[in-house]
Each structure stands twice: as structure tokens, then as C-alpha cells.
RNA sequence: GCUCCCUUCGUCUAGCGGUUAGGACGCGGCCCUCUCAAGGCUGAAACACGAGUUCGAUUCUCGUAGGGAGCGCCA
């Protein structure tokens, strides 16, 4: 769409001042949390204004871009539910357009060929560093009369040499930098391929992006990009630079921190709603509110309210939100995500309770869906071996009577609901004149093989009648063997 | 080195000249209790430092310190 007739496109958009944002990752890895938050902010900002959200893949670095990374980004966006209205566009599809505008700048003398070798540039940089000044191109080819033979030149943008570039960043406020700090950056390599600072400008211009929301590592690029906009005769968009996200330890987020890719959070058992909610609160707030549905985010979010400082990722709080959503989202919806984890852990759920029932019982006991699945395995497969400590402690001779009575009553029990089952357990305790603990704990171990499980009535319920009876018989046999050995 | 940016509890944050500096996660205690949780109540915990401006600074200004980013024929 943007490849063929940019001029007409610009004209057609001239009178519709819609809010348009874009998320423009480079496909050199997965979608990490920092990128995901930037994408979320772009998404919210567009949705809040009834605007347009664009996804653009910045794949001009042929060396490092991979199709796998593109897919990883697309997967991440989809899992998070960040749907875009346009794209994904690929910069590699637009090389002709970049070449066209490079030529235009050349023709207008706003850019020039540079024949300096990498070697010379490197030495120059070293020299300048040594002198304690900011390394930058010295402009040797700026006014070249004749081109040297046999060298394929790069194209440099002729940056203004005086004056200041001033822009009002939506999150940082006014930022001003002197043109003397900027040098003539390369916009095309010897083979004609364009470089980043040029392609972003061309794309954001052609695509009529009204608000550029991106990581603050781009702050220093912005002034030179603004100069390119002007050289191209375009009005720069509004910029908003959001701070980066630090790891749990306050250091820069890296592979070291493990789950940096968004899909890793799915694998670890987080709901997309939880991650989204966590991410939106990182650097942004609305009074004391902590929980936001996506609809509320759209309603309340404003990029201008985003904080300026980098924030540290806190897994404990993510856990809390994750549990919150497991408890409050419709059980059916949580169950859909839970199913993925049962499959992932190779647990066959065809013979056992419904996943909705699992969710209703387990959601307040675990932090992640991954845990929920693994801790629910017993309801589908029973247990392989008894937890030794739990067995020693609770499957003692004193437990024999309660278990026998339980067995008797449960075999006759038809109403297999938590309430009814609770009645049975209470009846047993009353009949034997013992406390609940004396009945529930042995039963718990008998059913699950361990001393920890949901409340005993729910455990019985989820376990089902047949498996429950088998468990009690097994426990009784264990006690008998123990007595015999004494 | 140079340029730009940042600085409220451990962490995420509220605050927008006068507050007992509020909330959330986490942590401690108590309650509840059949285990583990969940829940309720409750406690400890912060304005980096120094000058100004002002009757009064967490809030405004300037320094200092600390932190971050950028300075690529990467994005």
C-alpha cells in the first residue's frame, strides 16, 4: 500500500488528522517485556483516541534479522491480544522508496557522497575520544569537488551546522540539543541499502504516524531524525520516549534474567491479562488503582502520564496479579489457558474433573497456571508414591478407625458434591468424637499421597468417588502393613 | 571523555508550596482454619545530598553525588 504511491497517500491523509501510532521492532530476537510494554502503550494511545495502530517490522539489518524473530514478535503480539489495524509492514519491501528519497536529498544537495574509509573513520573516532571530545564525522567529504576513483561511497545526510533542535517530548518534556553536537550521519551504505535513522523517518512520514512512542534509547536519535524530516519537507510527528525496564535486581534486563521473551511468560504460566496489567502499571498509574482491564486501560491511559524513570521488573507483583486474574476471570476463560499447560505437561485430562472446577478450587492456591496444572495432576492420575513424611505422620494406627468409617460412608455416598462430602466428614468426626484434623489429614494423605491439598471436601470432590475409595483402601493397607511390621 | 536523560518505602507508585508523605507488591504480627493457600485486621519501611527562592519546601532554581542512554556503513 505504501510502496507504490506515497505522494497520493500523503495527500489523501492530509485532511484527516487521526491519531496514528506504530510499534516498530527489529526482528533480531523475541518480543521482550520492554518491547511489549512499548507496544502496549502504542496500542492504548491509538485505541483511546479511536486512532490507528500500525505494526512495522524494521528488518533492514539483513545480517541479524531472522524469520523466526519475526514470527516470535507476531506470536507475542497475538498472545497479548495487541491487534493492529495496519501491517505488518516490512522495511525490506520498501527499499525502492528509500532509494528514491535518498536520491532526492542528493539532488537537492541535502545529502552527499562520502568516500572515507571505515579505517579512517575509526582512527578519527579514537583520536577524538583521546582529545576528550565527542566523536563525530569531521565532514571531509562535505564539499568534495571530484569523486575519488574506484571507491563505492556511502551517502551522508547534510546536517545543519548551527542552531538547536527543540522538541516537546510527551513524556520527557522539552528537549533541546545543539546542531553542533550532531554530525552528518550515513543514510545509505555503499550497496545502497538504507540505515535506520533514515528508514524510520521515511516510514513514519509515509505512514502518517502522528505519535512516535518508543524506548528512550532513541532520545539521542530524535534530533537528527527531526532534521531529516525537515530536509524531506515533512513536519515531524510528536515524540514520546518511554523509559526502559530493568530486571528484578535493578540491572539492565538481559537473558540472564531468564524470562525476558513474552512467550516465556506464557510458558511459565502467566495469563496475558496479568502481564498486560503488570506492564501498564510499570511507569504509569491512575491514583491508587492497581487492577485494570484492557477496556479500562484504553479509557484511562494517556501517554503524557507516563513516568520518566526506568522501573524494575518485579515478579512478585506479577505473581499477585496473575493470581488475581486466575481468581476473578471467568473460570472458562482461565481454563482455556490452563489446558495449554496440561498439554505441555502431558497430563491427560479426559478422565477427571472439568478444568473449570479445577480453576475454581485451585486458583487461590497457586501463582501460575503451570503450578495449577502440576498440582492438579493427582486428580487425573492419582499419585505414584506416598510422601514419606506425610504418611509417617498421618497414616498411623489411630487413623485406621476414621478411614474405615470414611470408607464405609463414602461407598454409600451418591451425592458427590463438596457440601454433601463435607457433611460426611463432619459426621465421621462427630461419630468418633474427634476433631476435624484427625479425620481430614489422614484422608488427605490417603487421597493425594501428600499432606497438602485443597480443603478436604473439595479434594474429595475433584478426586471423584472411585479414585477416592481406592485411595482410602490403599492407605488402610499401608497402615495394616505398618502395624504388622511393629 | 563528550552530549542528553533520570533520582519518594526493598520494588511499582500517589503527591503537583502548608499532608500524621497515601496506596499496592513483598516482609512481620494477629485473627480465621482440616494441610497449604486465600481472606480480614495490623506493623515496620521512603522524599539521595548541599545551597538558594519563599513565611513555609518532597514539590520551584542551581549545584554535588549516584544511575542510565547515546556518541556505528545496529536498530
Residue A386: the pLDDT is: 87
Q: Is A458 an active-site residue? A: no
Q: What is the pLDDT of residue A331?
A: 96
Q: Closest residue by Cα to the C1' atom of nucleotide B38?
A: A364
DSSP string, A311-363: EE--HHHHHHHHHHHHHHS-HHHHHHHHHHHHHHTT---SSSS-HHHHHHHHT
Spanning CA of A312 to C1' of B9, the rounded length in angstroms is 15
Nucleotide whose C1' lies closest to the alpha carbon of residue A435: B34
- pLDDT at site A455: 95
Which nucleotides on strand B sit less than 7 A from a protein beta carbon?
1-8, 10-14, 22-26, 33-38, 68-75
Q: Give the dihedral of Cα atoms A34, A35, A36, A39; nearest 10 deg.
A: 130
Cβ A27 vs Cβ A65: under 8 Å: yes
A215 nearest nt, CA–C1': B69
- Is the pTM higher than 0.90? The answer reads yes
Q: Is the ipTM of this complex over 0.90?
A: yes
pLDDT of A226 reads 96
- Using 70 as the pLDDT threshold, list the residues of chain A that sit under it: 1-17, 253-259
Q: How far apart are the first and last CA of chain A?
A: 84
The strand pair at A52-57 and A20-23 is best described as parallel
Q: How many CA atoms lie within 13 A of A256 on its CB side?
A: 9
Catalytic residue (choose from A123, A152, A255, A473)? A255
> What is the DSSP code string of A365-427?
T-SSHHHHHHHHHHHHH--SS--HHHHHHHSSGGGHHHHHHHHHHHHT----SHHHHHHHHHH
A431: left (phi over 0), alpha (psi -120 to 50) or beta: alpha
Q: What is residue A89's three-state secondary structure?
A: strand
| Whole-number distance in Å between A242 CA and B72 C1' | 23
Q: What is the pLDDT of residue A17?
A: 66
Q: How far is CA A333 from CA A271, A355, A360, in A?
A: 10, 10, 12
Largest Cα–Cα distance of chain A, in whole Å? Answer: 107
**Beta pairing partners, A240:** A213
Gap between the Cα atoms of A152 and A333, Å rounded: 59
CA of A134 to C1' of B64 (A): 24
Amino acid at each position: 500500500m505504501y510502496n507504490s504511491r506515497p505522494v497520493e497517500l500523503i495527500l489523501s491523509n492530509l485532511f484527516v488528522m487521526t491519531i496514528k501510532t506504530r510499534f516498530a521492532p527489529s526482528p533480531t530476537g523475541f518480543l521482550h517485556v520492554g518491547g511489549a510494554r512499548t507496544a502496549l502503550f502504542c496500542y492504548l494511545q491509538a485505541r483511546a483516541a479511536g486512532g490507528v495502530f500500525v505494526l512495522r517490522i524494521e528488518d533492514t539489518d539483513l545480517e541479524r534479522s531472522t524469520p523466526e524473530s519475526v514470527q516470535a514478535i507476531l506470536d507475542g503480539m497475538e498472545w497479548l491480544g495487541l491487534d493492529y489495524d495496519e501491517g505488518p509492514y516490512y522495511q525490506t519491501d520498501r527499499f525502492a522508496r528509500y532509494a528514491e528519497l535518498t536520491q532526492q536529498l542528493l539532488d537537492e544537495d541535502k545529502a552527499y557522497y562520502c568516500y572515507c574509509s571505515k579505517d579512517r573513520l575509526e582512527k578519527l573516532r579514537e583520536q577524538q575520544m583521546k582529545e576528550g571530545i565527542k566523536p563525530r564525522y569531521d565532514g571531509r567529504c562535505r564539499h568534495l569537488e571530484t569523486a575519488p576513483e574506484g571507491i563505492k561511497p556511502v551517502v551522508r545526510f547534510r546536517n545543519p551546522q548551527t542552531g538547536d533542535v527543540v522538541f516537546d517530548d510527551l513524556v520527557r518534556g522539552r528537549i533541546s540539543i545543539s546542531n553542533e553536537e550532531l554530525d552528518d550521519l550515513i543514510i545509505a551504505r555503499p550497496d545502497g541499502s538504507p540505515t535506520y535513522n533514515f528508514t524510520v523517518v521515511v516510514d513514519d512520514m509515509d505512514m502518517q504516524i502522528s505519535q512516535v512512542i518508543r524506548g528512550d534509547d532513541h532520545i539521542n536519535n530524535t534530533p537528527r531524525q527531526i532534521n531529516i524530516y525537515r530536509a524531506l519537507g515533512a513536519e515531524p510527528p510528536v515524540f514520546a520516549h518511554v523509559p526502559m525496564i530493568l530486571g528484578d535486581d535493578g540491572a539492565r534486563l538481559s537473558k540472564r534474567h531468564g524470562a525476558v521473551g513474552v512467550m516465556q511468560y506464557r510458558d511459565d504460566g502467566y495469563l496475558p491479562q496479568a502481564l498486560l496489567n503488570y506492564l501498564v502499571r510499570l511507569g504509569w498509574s491512575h491514583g491508587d488503582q492497581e487492577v485494570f482491564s484492557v477496556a479500562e486501560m484504553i479509557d484511562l491511559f494517556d501517554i503524557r502520564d507516563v513516568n520518566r524513570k526506568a522501573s524494575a521488573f518485579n515478579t512478585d507483583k506479577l505473581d499477585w496479579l496473575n493470581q488475581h486474574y486466575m481468581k476473578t476471570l471467568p473460570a472458562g476463560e482461565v481454563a482455556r489457558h490452563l489446558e495449554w499447560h496440561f498439554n505441555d505437561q502431558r497430563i491427560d485430562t479426559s478422565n477427571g474433573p472439568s478444568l473449570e472446577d479445577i480453576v475454581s478450587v485451585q486458583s487461590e492456591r497457586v501463582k501460575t497456571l503451570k503450578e495449577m496444572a502440576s498440582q492438579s495432576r493427582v486428580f487425573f492420575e492419582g499419585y505414584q508414591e506416598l510422601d514419606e513424611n506425610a504418611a509417617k505422620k498421618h497414616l498411623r494406627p489411630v487413623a485406621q478407625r476414621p478411614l474405615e468409617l470414611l470408607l464405609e460412608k463414602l461407598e454409600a455416598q451418591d451425592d458427590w458434591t463438596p457440601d454433601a462430602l463435607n457433611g460426611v466428614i463432619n459426621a465421621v468426626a462427630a461419630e468418633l468424637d474427634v476433631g476435624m484434623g484427625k479425620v481430614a489429614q489422614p484422608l488427605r494423605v490417603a487421597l493425594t499421597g501428600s499432606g497438602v491439598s485443597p480443603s478436604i471436601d473439595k479434594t474429595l470432590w475433584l478426586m471423584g468417588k472411585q479414585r477416592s475409595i481406592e485411595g482410602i483402601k490403599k492407605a488402610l493397607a499401608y497402615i495394616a502393613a505398618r502395624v504388622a511390621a511393629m
